[in-house]
Structure 1
């Protein structure tokens, strides 16, 4: 059995432009903790190798403290580290991949040509290639691993969703023809789950830390277990803050609605609250003052529509008027608040359906 930890897209030293300067600096500091977390997961799970599928850095300009944290974490990693540079951190002359002295257990695939490294004790080969510029194509094309009883895996940055991508498009046909047991990909920031093409298993774990509202929820890495006959994945969260979008029907009391909707454990996370439905125009400044202390960062979007007279037109000699008239009678004669809410909701949904709009 072989165990691998597969991570990608750490994007160390990201700008976090949507946050305040102080918050952005705090988030970059948290990013620098990711390599040490990965090394610790390798220790806990007894991994045979750590595979990093590119975009470890967000760009060519890397802070000295970031490089220092990365080198220290990898030096402490109990297994070999294999790194395939991607489109954000290609093998430029100024890249830390070329300028720094890396620990002896780290292998950087420093060419666009695929090459192997052998792990004799595991009877395993780790193949890989790296981006030499921000755009690459065809890195996997024509590759076929030897079928000689060894376990062949590969770490590679590439886009398996867009066949026309300038970021090393990887096709299912190429993956199936590769003869690999497992292909560890990076570039796509949402985790894929276990996929197969031919006899080859492949996946991408998503980014290691969310950096915006297009990277929602919990982020982490994959623990890959290869047996003689199977491949399995386990998602291992890396902790830290997450980006969350919360849609809240504002109703008559937006503050009360948000108070009920906001999770009690939201303090570490970054929230975008979208206020919806028919309501009086909410006071966003007052809402921010009340709720911003409960989260790390908070922004609002007001998608409410002006509140209307729910029963306008009830009783008119139209399909809408007759239906509203019946619902208004149900509302007026309702035995309790629950029945009144049901009648009012039915009226709102009726009007929305007739007018061709969504009822938030």
Structure 2
């Protein structure tokens, strides 16, 4: 018996660091991931799909976004079990109870509304047991509640569908909704369930020593700290064996980098690295710089970043981790010709630059406006480029999980 374990689709998610154009492509990629999961199910012979929470980013999505998601879901050729999570809990405003969902969702889309075992349509002797969220902050371990009265059923294979952080990975084990890992492992050992499909952690993560207790991770990357995102798990249960195969779903990349820039060769190497990246339109980079450069090299770096602004999905200077000393030298003076008030201003700023970052920034701007950057013919700045500007840190996943 094969099925696909996925979670944390968060349809409708936005990222503040993306431009309007890139954000639209990113949103579409989340919809496309649903269709890809359907294709993977057909390709690998998976008989159903379980989504372990956070199908939607919130319960307040536009009718257009929800309709597009349902159109994709309706195209999936196997039953899909949808578990409400902390982003889309089954409360009074639940998106799963909305008029659009009720009218457009086809019968093979099964919303898990309680913990009663649900037979998998078309698959004999297989049940899904869920632990849906009814609020954003549950007061109890919902998985423990789903297992409380569950007894082994000879000949029946069960999948437990849960959402939240297990206590071995939770940053705050005192939170009332934390999932007790020992109880899950006990239920597996007793044969009450045969696989535990977890969601909330955006990184593909095996829990404990058994392959039967796992987080699938998100099918499309959402943050920079996620490990091995863009995945789903193909789960094969046969007799006493459980085989997990990670499947690639998404293709966007989020990378946080540090680069040392101390001379022209460092800048040229960075430019070549940027140029070699494939799929720039689906790549989000934030780069922190360290080192010491003169005004000419600082201007080349600025030009390099600006030149790629429209190529990458996002390319930001990471101000929080940038410690790049800009030290004007005699070559900078020789590279531009100033007179009168401009020359006096230049010299005044030079005198202040050693102790005043604002003066250094003003010198960099004057250098570029005076044509200093433009004189670097054939430089790294003319070879590749992109997005200047300060970094906007994303709210998100706290060590790869979506958080509450």
Residue aligning to 2:160: 154
Contact 1:87 1:167 in 2 (8 A): no
| Cross-structure match for 1:272 | 286
> Could you say what the CA RMSD is over the residues aligned between the two structures, in angstroms?
2.4
Q: Which position in structure 1 is the counterpart of 2:2?
A: 3
Aligned length: 303
Instruction: Please state whether the residue corresponding to 1:156 is helix, strand or coil.
Output: strand
CA distance in structure 1 between the partners assigned to 2:229 and 2:326 by the alignment: 36
Unaligned 5+ runs, structure 2: 328-404
> Hey, what's the Cα distance between the residues in 2 that align with 1:11 and 1:28?
10
Q: Which residue of 2 aligns with 1:287?
A: 304
Deviation at 1:145, TM superposition (A): 4.2
1:118 aligns with 2:127: no
Written as runs of structure 1 = structure 2, the 5 A alignment for 1:304-319 is: 304-306=323-325
Alignment of 1:220-239 (within 5 A): 220-239=231-250
Q: Per the alignment, in what secondary structure is the counterpart of residue 117 of structure 2?
A: strand
Q: Distance in 1 between matches of 2:305 and 2:176?
A: 40
8 Å contact kept, 1:191–1:206: yes
Aligned to 2:225: 214
Deviation of 1:260 (Å): 3.0
Indicate yes or no: 2:125 matched with 1:128: no
2:173 alignment partner in structure 1: 164
- With 151-160 and 285-294 compared, the bigger mean Cα shift is at 285-294
Report the CA distance between 1:186 and its aligned residue. Answer: 0.3
- Note the alpha carbon deviations across 1:191-222, whole angstroms, 9 max, x for none: 1036446xx71111112212232336641211
Q: Which residue of 2 aligns with 1:24?
A: 23
Higher helix fraction: Structure 1 or Structure 2? 2
2:216 to 188, 200, 205: 205
Match of 2:112 in 1: 109
| Residue 143 (structure 2) aligned to one of 140, 143, 146 | 140
* Counterpart contact for 2:6–2:52, Cα < 8 Å: yes
CA drift at 1:93 = 2.4
* 1:257 to 1:145, Cα distance in 2 relative to 1, 3 A: farther
Alpha-carbon distance between aligned partners in 1 of 2:132 and 2:202, rounded to the nearest angstrom: 18
Retained in 2: the 8 A contact 1:7–1:51? yes
Would you say 1:175 and 2:178 are equivalent positions?
A: no
Q: Is the 8 A contact 1:251 1:257 kept in 2?
A: no
Q: Which runs of 5+ in 1 are unaligned?
A: 309-360
Q: Is the 8 A contact 2:232 2:246 kept in 1?
A: yes
Say whether the 8 Å CA contact 1:217–1:242 is kept in structure 2: no
**Residues 1:63 and 2:62 aligned together:** yes
SS at match of 1:178: helix
Retained in 1: the 8 A contact 2:217–2:231? yes
Q: Is this contact kept in 2: 1:159–1:165, CA < 8 A?
A: no
The question of 1:261 aligning with 2:269 is answered no
CA distance in 2, matches of 1:258, 1:28: 30
Inter-partner Cα distance in structure 2 for 1:221 and 1:195: 19
Aligned-partner Cα distance in 2 for 1:216–1:304: 26
Partner Cα separation in structure 2 for residue 184 and residue 255 of structure 1: 46
**Aligned-partner Cα distance in 1 for 2:227–2:267:** 24
Whole-angstrom distance in 1 between the partners of 2:174 and 2:197: 18
> Residues of 2 paired with 1:138 and 1:182: CA distance?
18
Residues 167 and 58 (structure 1), Cα distance of their counterparts in 2 relative to 1, 3 Å cut: farther
Other structure's SS at 1:140 match: helix
How far is the alpha carbon of 1:82 from its aligned partner? 0.8
- Whole-Å separation in 2 of the counterparts to 1:56 and 1:188: 13
Work out the CA distance in 1 between the residues paired with 2:151 and 2:83: 18
